[in-house]
Amino acid sequence: MSPRVGSMVAGDWSRVRLHVVTGKGGTGKSTVAASLALALAAQGRQVLLCEVEGRQGIARMFDVDPLPYEERRIASGLRLNGRAPGVVHALHIDPESALLEYLAMYYKLGRAGRALDRFGVIEFATTIAPGVRDVLLTGKVYEAVQRNSRNKSAIQYDAVVLDAPPTGRIAQFLNVNDELAGLAKVGPIKSQADSVMTLFQSPRTAVHLVTVLEEMPVQETADGITELRRAGLPVGSVIVNQVRPHDISAHDLAAARSRQLDAERIEADLKEAGVDIGDELVAGLLAEAHDHAERRALEDSQRAVVAGLGLPTYELPRLPGGVDLGGLYELAGDLAEQVKR
């Protein structure tokens, strides 16, 4: 696969410091972001996992207390190939806390800033000016990636993973200069937006899009790639989530889809296994097999569409029991094996 403008070379994440994860709702975007953080930590890296949507999803996934507005250690990476694992820290970024920090940093408004918060001014400001809100959220992510002299005691991270807004809003969220165009022409907040955009449009950033093999999410992924490239933002990879297992032969799938499975053979196999059968059981199994074959055919057609997007693609399996902490580690292991170290 040849690299394209605005895309990363397949499997090469060596230069990337900021991994932005987006996807249509329901595709498991947050699960993939958490798994990616664990996969990067498996390579011995110190990783920060950030969220900006206010749902405390990280705390639920890792079964820890709700996160404050400060970095907290939440997990260690997998030990793969004898390599000592790194550590995953997490940060829940909310716009009100980010604005208070911004006011204290640039305008020395310590107590005064907290007084504004009590009067609801902070919430009012971040609500009426969503462009400013996004600059504050992304600015905190920028600071974590680009630690400077103000952060002498802060952890220096090898990688930052951002669980970002959904695909429909991702280009707008990351393209903070456009959002600020009518609000701030000069001053610290404009300078911060310029610095953020320099990072976001550089090879140190990669935006990964999560999808499932269904028509609407795949189409939204394609549209998101177009918007990101139009904004000059570097597209990383497509991560296909919740992939069904390939445990049925192509021949049997074709027979199931055309309703030509041998019912007598299935009945004989069930009897041999000691299963008490009846007509309804066999008919139900044949119907399930047909539905599964139809679903697999749909997935294969959408997989071809994803392949045509011309990006590095990784696949993560559907976990039958749902995703808990053990499931996150399982997905992280799968992802780490697929990505070039």
* Of 229 and 117, more confident: 229
* Of 192 and 107, more confident: 192
Which tens digit of pLDDT belongs to each residue from 66-75?
998 899 999 9
3-state secondary structure the chain: CCCCCCECCCCECCCCCEEEEEECCCCCHHHHHHHHHHHHHCCCCCEEEEECCCCCHHHHHHCCCCCCCCCEEEEECCCCCCCCCCEEEEEECCHHHHHHHHHHHHHCCCHHHHHHHHCCHHHHHHHHCHHHHHHHHHHHHHHHHCCCHHHCCCCCCCEEEEECCCHHHHHHHHCHHHHHCCCCCCCHHHHHHHHHHHHHCCCCEEEEEEECCCHHHHHHHHHHHHHHHHCCCCEEEEEEEEECCCCCCHHHHHHHHCCCCCHHHHHHHHHHCCCCCCHHHHHHHHHHHHHHHHHHHHHHHHHHHHHCCCCCEEEEECCCCCCCHHHHHHHHHHHHHHCEC
Percentage with pLDDT > 70 across the chain: 80
Which tens digit of pLDDT belongs to each residue from 14-53?
789 999 999 999 999 999 999 999 999 998 899 999 999 8
Which tens digit of pLDDT belongs to each residue from 175-213?
877 665 455 554 566 777 788 899 999 999 999 999 999
The CB density around residue 91, as the number of other CB atoms within 10 Å, is 21
pLDDT at 282: 80
State the Cα–Cα distance between residues 272 and 213, nearest whole angstrom.
36
pLDDT at 188: 64
Band of pLDDT at residue 247, cut at 50, 70 and 90? confident
Band of pLDDT at residue 269, cut at 50, 70 and 90? confident
Which tens digit of pLDDT belongs to each residue from 279-315?
688 888 878 878 877 788 888 899 999 999 999 999 9
pLDDT at 110 over 60: no
pLDDT at 108: 47
Band of pLDDT at residue 12, cut at 50, 70 and 90? low
CA-based torsion, 138, 205, 17, 219: positive or negative = positive
* Of 111 and 4, more confident: 111
Query: Which stretch of 156-160, 226-230, 335-339 has the lowest confidence by average pLDDT?
Result: 335-339
pLDDT at 340 over 70: no
pLDDT at 10 over 60: no
pLDDT at 3 over 60: no
pTM value is 0.83
pLDDT at 147: 76
